[in-house]
Amino acid sequence: MAGSLNKVLLIGRLGADPEIKQMVNGKSVARLSLATSQSWKDKNTGEKKEKTEWHRIVVFNEGLVNVVQQYLKKGAQIYVEGQLSTRKWKDEQSGQDKYSTEILIQGYNSSLTMLGGASSANNISNDQSKTSTNNDDMSQISNDMDDEIPF
């Protein structure tokens, strides 16, 4: 369909350490749980309110999976560009069809960037120039992907 766009941009913090799995073809995939929050003041009570949304991020690029595994931990702040994908699966216990919506990081139009902050992965290394070099490497890695992704 001409004129359509499937693009997601998120900035948030990891709610858990990345989960790295092996696919049937032997390649690795990373799964991330990303929290985005918004806060506001209740007009009636003046009380501060906050709402957190949780997003499933799936990284298919082998090089980027290695960077995720090495540098990202729970609490790290990241910027993600990807696309929405909903997949159908069958619950083994109930036999019912289930659906999961995820943000896929694959292909040339996706990226993942580590951002600074108190709980960020940038604090893992004392060598700040090394950390910023890794950010540059990540953007190059995310643009260098193949199309052999099985679904």
Q: Report the alpha-carbon distance of residue 57 to residue 72 in Å, rounded.
A: 13
Q: What is the DSSP letter of 142?
A: H
What digits encode the pLDDT tens for the residues 17-43?
Answer: 999 999 999 999 999 999 999 999 999
Token pair for residue 140?
Answer: 């190059």
The distance in angstroms from the start CA to the end CA of the chain is: 21
Other beta carbons within 10 Å of 33: 17
Number of domains the chain contains = 1
- Is residue 130 domain-resident? yes
Q: What angle do CA 117, 102, 78 make, to 5 degrees?
A: 10
- Is residue 150 domain-resident? no
Helix or strand run (H / E) with residue 47? none
What digits encode the pLDDT tens for the residues 78-135?
Answer: 999 999 999 998 998 999 999 999 999 998 889 999 997 544 444 332 222 223 323 3
Q: Report the alpha-carbon distance of residue 106 to residue 25 in Å, rounded.
A: 16
Three-state SS at 149:
coil
- Is residue 2 domain-resident? no
- CATH classification at residue 111: 2.40.50.140
Which structural domain, as residue segments, surrounds residue 126? 8-40+48-143
What digits encode the pLDDT tens for the residues 115-126?
Answer: 975 444 443 322
- Is residue 148 domain-resident? no
- Is residue 84 domain-resident? yes
Compute the radius of gyration of the chain from its Cα atoms: 17
Q: 68: buried, middle or exposed (CB in 10 Å: 19+, 13-18, 0-12)?
A: buried
Count Cα atoms within 13 angstroms, Cβ side, for 35. Answer: 13
